């Protein structure tokens, strides 16, 4: 089976808008019974708060998914956004979303690699990395590229699944089956502690001014995802098959256990580039 991120997401994107919601990311819940949509929007707003986005700014969205956050940034804050992804399906879906929202003049999407984006130095006021870094194997290169394209005084904001404690090799071997399920469902991910993102950002000369653990607030996400797998079963089965839907629901159980035993969690970090 191929775990290359673009291949994986090209296959599952349409189904995942039903399973994960339109924003395709975790939610930050005000209460355990809150619906998914306002919780995912709250995470987007926390990212925007960390980024300190204002009208007229140029924003690079690294790992843009199907473009919902990028369109929200443009519509809400009046910023221009370039979303990049290695998924052709993602570029097509995101571009259609921007056109449908009459945002094509502010928002565009391109197939580019976050670890080697080939964009000009200092060409963005903000760089936004929402839940995509765990699929980029060279995390240092990703952060270096984000820092490189930021203009002086620019800001990086990133959120993702994080490793909360070390996993010794014997434990990894013992958990081979559940870890393999997560890899099959979500792609070949590798999580890092939130402190590692700080270290990498500071190594690139960025000044970290926000570091937030969102583990507890994101936990209800798994209940909402399982509910979606049941509610949209027929539609999801038609897209990816009943077996993959059932494996998705089972992966939510695995993630929930990892959240509860302190193995995995969720964090947000924001950092500024010096003005000189």
CB-based contacts of 35, cutoff 8 Å, min separation 6:
224
Q: Are 198 and 17 in contact (CB under 8 A)?
A: no
Q: Quote the pLDDT of residue 77.
A: 96
Residue 12 near residue 240 (C-beta atoms within 8 A): yes
Residue reference for tokens 């998705």 = 248
The Cα 137–Cα 217 span in angstroms is 27
DSSP states along 62-131 = ES-TTSHHHHHHHHHH--EEEEEES-HHHHHHHHHHHHHTT-TTTEEEEE-BTTB--PPTT-EEEEEEES
- In this prediction, residue 187 carries a pLDDT of 87
**Residue 76 — pLDDT band, cuts 50, 70, 90?**
very high
| DSSP H or E segment with residue 211 | strand 207-213
Residue 7 is predicted with a pLDDT of 57
Question: Measuring CA to CA, which residue among 186, 224, 228, 194 is closest to residue 26?
Answer: 224
Classify residue 125 by burial, with Cβ atoms within 10 Å: 0-12, 13-18, 19+: buried
Give the closest residue to 26 by CA, choosing from 37, 11, 15: 37
Q: Within a 13 Å sphere around the CA of 60, how many CA atoms are in the beta-carbon half?
A: 31
Q: Which residues contact 38 (CB under 8 A, 6 or more apart)?
A: 27, 30
Q: Does the pLDDT at position 81 exceed 60?
A: yes
Average pLDDT over residues 96-115: 95
pLDDT of residue 8: 58
Average pLDDT over residues 104-127: 97
208: three-class secondary structure by DSSP: strand
Helix (H) or strand (E) holding 267: strand 264-272
Backbone angles phi and psi of 193, in degrees to 5: -65, 155
pLDDT grade for 148, boundaries at 50, 70 and 90: very high
Nearest alpha-carbon partner for 160 in 205, 203, 99, 213: 213
Pair type for strands 124-130 and 58-62: parallel
Assigned token pair, 102: 């009459």
pTM of the model: 0.93
Q: Which residues contact 176 (CB under 8 A, 6 or more apart)?
A: none
Q: Examine the pLDDT at 101 and tell me if it is beyond 80.
A: yes
Domains identified in the chain and CATH numbers: 5-272 (3.40.50.150)
Q: Mean pLDDT throughout 164-172?
A: 92
Strand partners, 207: 272
Name the average pLDDT for the chain.
Answer: 94
140 neighbors 114 (Cβ within 8 angstroms): no
Average pLDDT over residues 128-157: 96
Q: Looking at residue 14, what is its pLDDT?
A: 86
Strand partners, 163: 264
Q: How far is 76 from 107, CA to CA, in rounded Å?
A: 12
- Kindly state the average pLDDT of the residues 10-29: 89
Element (H, E) at 49: helix 36-51
Q: Is the pLDDT of residue 230 over 70?
A: yes
Please provide the distance, in angstroms rounded to a whole number, between the alpha carbons at the two ends of the chain: 47
Flag whether pLDDT at 207 surpasses 60.
Answer: yes
* Residue 188: predicted pLDDT: 87
pLDDT for 9 beyond 70: no
Mean pLDDT of 123-141: 95
110 pairs with which residues across the strands?
84
Portion of the chain with pLDDT greater than 90, in percent? 88
């Amino acid at each position: 089976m191929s775990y290359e991120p673009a291949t994986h997401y090209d296959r599952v994107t349409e189904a995942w808008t039903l399973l994960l919601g339109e924003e395709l990311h975790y939610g930050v819940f005000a209460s355990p019974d809150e619906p998914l949509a306002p919780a995912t929007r709250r995470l987007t707003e926390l990212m925007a708060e960390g980024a300190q986005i204002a009208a007229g700014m140029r924003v690079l969205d690294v790992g843009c998914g199907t473009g919902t956050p990028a369109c929200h940034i443009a519509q809400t804050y009046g910023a221009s956004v370039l979303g990049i992804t290695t998924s052709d399906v993602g570029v097509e879906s995101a571009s259609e979303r921007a056109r449908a929202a009459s945002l094509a003049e502010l928002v565009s999407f391109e197939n580019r690699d976050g670890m080697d984006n080939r964009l000009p130095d200092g060409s963005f006021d903000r760089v936004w990395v929402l839940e995509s870094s765990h699929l980029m194997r060279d995390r240092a290169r990703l952060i270096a590229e984000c820092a490189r394209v930021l203009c002086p005084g620019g800001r990086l904001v990133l959120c993702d699944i994080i490793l909360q404690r070390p996993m010794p090799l014997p434990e990894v071997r013992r958990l081979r089956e559940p870890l393999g399920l997560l890899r099959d469902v979500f792609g070949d991910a590798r999580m890092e502690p939130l402190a590692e993102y700080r270290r990498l950002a500071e190594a690139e000369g960025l000044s970290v001014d926000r570091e937030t653990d969102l583990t507890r607030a994101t936990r209800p996400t798994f209940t909402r995802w399982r509910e979606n797998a049941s509610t949209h079963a027929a539609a999801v089965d038609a897209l990816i098959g009943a077996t993959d839907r059932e494996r998705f629901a089972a992966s939510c159980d695995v993630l929930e256990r990892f959240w509860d035993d302190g193995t995995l969690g969720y964090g947000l970090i924001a950092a500024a580039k010096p003005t000189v």
